[in-house]
Structure 1
Amino acid sequence: MGKLSDVQIRSWIKAGERFEGKGDGDGLYLAYRKEFAVPRWLFRYRFAGKSRSMGIGTYGDLSLAGARKTIKELRARVALGHDVAGEKQERKRVAVAKIEAEKNALSVGQLADEYFERMIVGHWKHPNIVRSRIERDIKPNIGKLAVQDVKPMHIDVMLQTIVKRGAPTTANDVLRWVRRMFDYAMKRHMVEYNPAVAFNVSDAGGKEEARKRWLTRDELVRLFEAMRNAKGFTVENFLTVKLLLLLAVRKQELTAAKAAEFDLDKAVWYLPAERTKTSAAIDIPLSKPAVECLRKLIALGCSSDYLLPARKRQERMLPHIHENTLNVAMSKAKPQLKDLENFTIHDFRRTARTHLAALGVDSHIAERCLNHKIEGVEGIYNRHDYFPERREALAKWASFLDACEAGKDWNVVPLREKQKTA
């Protein structure tokens, strides 16, 4: 059989002539079967005494000259002891396996979700703090990476991104949770090593110092004014922020509170143990301004089971407002307070504690107002909860806050001085 030519091949294609194989020599064949849209090149050879065949391309993609060159290279490899058809099949198998593995690979985002559901939900009092770190920081940075592909450099870039936006404490939190997530993955043979294990807080946000920020009387006056005047600052948010100041409780304790926990006739909030940081239930006395705020919020809640029901559809489908709702609200008021040192909602507790001391409230009573445990031997043996004393202290604090809200001067005799003159 003679050599093939481009003229012959084009004439066969034009005539629609189909054939099993026409040879060009040296094992090069052109096949144009009925199921082929275009002719295909084949290389036929013998290896270990057996006939072998492999496709090397189509006539449209590989010219006759190109096919001859390819065949020459393949024959040389066969002469060196290579089963080129077998090698091609192996490469294809590896490529398909890799694609399948990538398609089924567990992503960091999926790992985070699994870790959250198995290790956080039901084990942590405030799981949404962890969920916030996952959704706001971990997933946007490394969530789409396969867990096996995460390298230390990915962890470093994520931490530095968080630090650069001015959130070093968050960077430390993210590092802690990522390390725990990958420890979880190692125990379950998802990864062979933890890419975050070599990092410490010095690589993230650095050593955390206890915050000292509290709001002075003048700053509280300006805060109330800013909340009243801020565009989009709702009545619900105003009342909630005021309650956080009045009660000096933790944000999550109030945002997740159920309306049934409050006895407004007796002016008491029965805060259950499962929602306190100390894991101990506490009865919180409610001042008259606090009761007024609660009555308004319960009315605005339209018979909801929760004091602060969810206001819109949330990703986690919480029945109450998200913990970040108040942070967003405060961001609307802060432009009017930009000349003040930055403060957070958690600083309200330190604000209350500082002013309680200034109002003459004894330290152990002020500590119990913040639901802090009494330290040392006294805390072990003294089980008195100072409810009447706390009611008096929080009433004094409420009067002080009312004066701040009204922008009035505050002149009061501290409790200690009242006790001396009594």
Structure 2
Amino acid sequence: MKLTDLHIRKLKPGPRTARYSDGHGLFLEITPQGSKLWKMAYRFDGKQKTLSFGKYPFVSLLRAREKCAEAKAQLYDGLDPREKEKAEAAVKVARTEHTFAKIAAELQEKRKKEGISKTTLQKRDWFIRLINKDLGDMPITEIKPVDILVPLRRQEARGNYETARRMRSSIGQVFRYAVATARADHDPTFALRDALITPKVQHMAALTKREDFARLLQVIWTYEAGSEITRSALKLMAMLYTRPGELRLAHWNEFDFEKRVWTLPEERMKMRRPHHKPLAEPVIEILRKLQEQTGNRVRVFPSLTGNDRSISENTMNQALRRMSFTKEEMTPHGFRSSASSLLNESGLWNPDAIEAELAHADSNQVRRIYHRALYWEERVRMADWWADEVLAMAQAR
């Protein structure tokens, strides 16, 4: 007998779950707790299955029958209504949970666990915040290339071509992570490769001729303005030619004066591998003198505005400007090019040893380990020779 609303309202829960049929596989299930649930029993591919339609009275008798009729129509077409229900649920989750912002945040959390440097994470956070203004709330499966162009074109309109290029790269990383975790099918940024303005490559300014570099060193060694910390940092940049961030963020416990080695931790290295640099005696002398001033701190180059921070990226830049070297002539990063050019020009050192000293790591792990062991002694001799050369140029008149 078919159910009626009056009949349903009069039904009371019992000690066990009870079922009341309405025909065509549709039935009302009443639990001991009093819940009245609409369900449908059916067979598909030789298997007995059950489909749920919701709770009475939120789903009325009429609506339950409509749902039952829809399911029957799907069965007639050879479709499993339960799989359709799962697909619709997945779409709903994708719209609310699989948004660009949530997947981007998840990727950032993964990077933190992988030990990506704080500075790199902060840069990527900045790009994601810019992108989220336009794409953050959108389901990742619904984002098209034209949607991605919106924040990119905005940056290009401001002349920020490199920012636009890096934003596209960041968006692509999020999409590739979504693809890898089965929440997207493809990376739409691939279609935008040729859509953006290519920024003109600007190399870090450097003095690579010996006479020009010697003039710079003479100014640094006679420079009396600024702090001892800044002067020491510039002298060590000339002698050690590391990346500026690798030097300015150095900790005292990384230096072993007895073994004459500076061990740079992997989290501060561009290639995310520890790097060992031999220390020449003139380098150790500069460090020991600086240690008298900052040796009671964790950082070798602490900021004057706070003991828990290092000098800023602009500290050495500003000092070079005060020395009358423009940004088109020299930058802190330029010390690497200066040293590389003059070391190669000397003809005394194996180019691979110079590359190893610059921490230009080989992508082949076996080759990298082999070269590190093979060239260490040569790098020690090269460090001593280069430090003497720097002093000779600095003191020449």
Q: Specify the TM-score bucket, using the shorter chain as the normaliser.
A: 0.5 to 0.7
Q: Contact 1:221 / 1:404 at 8 angstroms: preserved in 2?
A: yes
Q: Give the residue type in structure 2 aligned to 1:370.
A: L
Q: Which residue of 1 aligns with 2:352?
A: 364
Cα shift at 1:207 = 7.9
Report how far residue 390 of structure 1 moved.
1.8
* Alignment pair present for 1:397 and 2:386: yes
Report 1:348-363 matches (<5 A). Answer: 348-359=335-346, 360-363=348-351
TM, length-normalised to structure 1:
0.54
The amino acid that maps onto 1:384 is A
Partner of 1:326: 313
Change (3 A) 1:395 1:118: same
How far residue 212 of structure 1 moved from its aligned partner, in angstroms, is 9.0
Displacement of 1:249: 2.3
Q: Unaligned stretches of 5+ in structure 1?
A: 1-103, 410-422
Is 1:155 equivalent to 2:151 in the alignment? yes
Give the conservation status (yes or no) of the 8 Å contact 2:213–2:338: no
- Aligned to 1:286, which of 279, 286, 290? 279
User: What one-letter code is carried by the residue in structure 2 that aligns with 1:401?
Assistant: V
In 2, the alpha carbon distance for the partners of 1:301 and 1:181 equals 42
Q: Which residue of 1 aligns with 2:110?
A: 119
Matched-pair contact (CA < 8 Å) for 1:246–1:398: yes
Give 1:70-85 correspondences, 5 Å limit. Answer: none
In the aligned structure 2, how far is the partner of 1:346 from the partner of 1:192? 41
**Rounded Cα–Cα distance in structure 2 between residues aligned with 1:244 and 1:131:** 25
Q: Secondary structure at 1:291's aligned position in 2?
A: helix
Q: What does residue range 264-279 of structure 1 map to in structure 2 within 5 Å?
A: 264-273=257-266, 275-278=268-271
Q: For 2:123, which of 132, 141, 166 is the aligned residue? A: 132
Q: 1:190 to 1:310 in 2, by over 3 A?
A: farther
Q: 1:179 to 1:381 in 2, by over 3 A?
A: closer
* Equivalent residues of 2:242, 2:336 under 8 A apart: yes
Which residue of structure 1 lines up, in the alignment, with residue 49 of structure 2?
none
Q: Does 1:300 align with 2:300?
A: no
Over 3 Å counting, the alpha-carbon distance change for 1:262 and 1:192 in structure 2 is same
Whole-angstrom CA distance in 1 between matches of 2:358 and 2:128: 33
CA contact (8 A) 1:147 1:190 kept: no
* Contact 2:237–2:335 (CA under 8 A) maintained in structure 1: yes
Checking the alignment, whether the CA contact within 8 Å between 1:125 and 1:275 is kept in structure 2 is no
Shift in Å, 1:370: 2.0
TM-score, normalising length from structure 2?
0.57
Distance 2:279 2:285 in 1: 10
Q: 2:332 is matched by which residue type in structure 1? A: I
Q: Which amino acid aligns with 1:118?
A: E
Cα RMSD (Å) of the superposition?
A: 4.5
Instruction: Check the 8 A contact 2:353/2:375 in 1, yes or no.
Output: yes
- Percent identical: 22
Map residues 20-59 of structure 1 onto 2, 5 A cutoff.
none
**Whole-Å separation in 1 of the counterparts to 2:388 and 2:149:** 54
Spell out, residue by residue over 1:138-183, the C-alpha distance to the aligned partner (whole angstroms, 9 max, x if none). Answer: 64x5565562379334322343156x25xx5454333212332465
The gaps in structure 2 that reach 5 residues or longer are 1-95
Asked whether the 8 Å contact 2:243–2:333 carries over to 1, the reply is yes
Change over 3 Å in CA distance of 1:112–1:239 after alignment to 2: farther
